[in-house]
Chain A
Amino acid sequence: MLLVVAAGCSKPVEDNIYCDVTLRLSLPGGKEVASMTVNPALRGNMFKNINTGINYPYPEFVGDVCKMTVQKGVYMIAFDGDVVYSDGTSGLVRFTGYNSLSNVRNLLEDEETVELSVIVLR
Chain B
Amino acid sequence: MSIRFPRALTAAALSAALLAGCGSTAADPAPTPSASAAGSALTGFDALVEEARGSTVTFYGWGGDDARNQFLQTTVADTLKEKYDITLEVVGMDIDAILAKLSGEKGAGQDAGTIDMIWINGENFYSCKENGLLYGPFTQELPNFNAYVDPEDPETLTDFCYPIEGYEAPYAKAQLVLIHDSAVTPETPASTEELLEFVQKYPGKVTYPAPPDFTGSAFVRNVIYDICGWEQFQDMEPDKEALRAAVAPAMEYLRELNPYLWNGGETFPASSTQLTNLFADGEVLLDISYSPYSPAVNIEKGVYPDTAQAFLWDKGTIGNTNYMAIAYNAPNKAGAMVVIHELLSPELQAAQYDAQKVLPVLDEARLSAEEQALFDAVDTGDGTLPQDELLEHRLPEMPAALVPLIEEIWAEEVVGQ
Q: Tell whether A and B belong to one assembly.
A: no
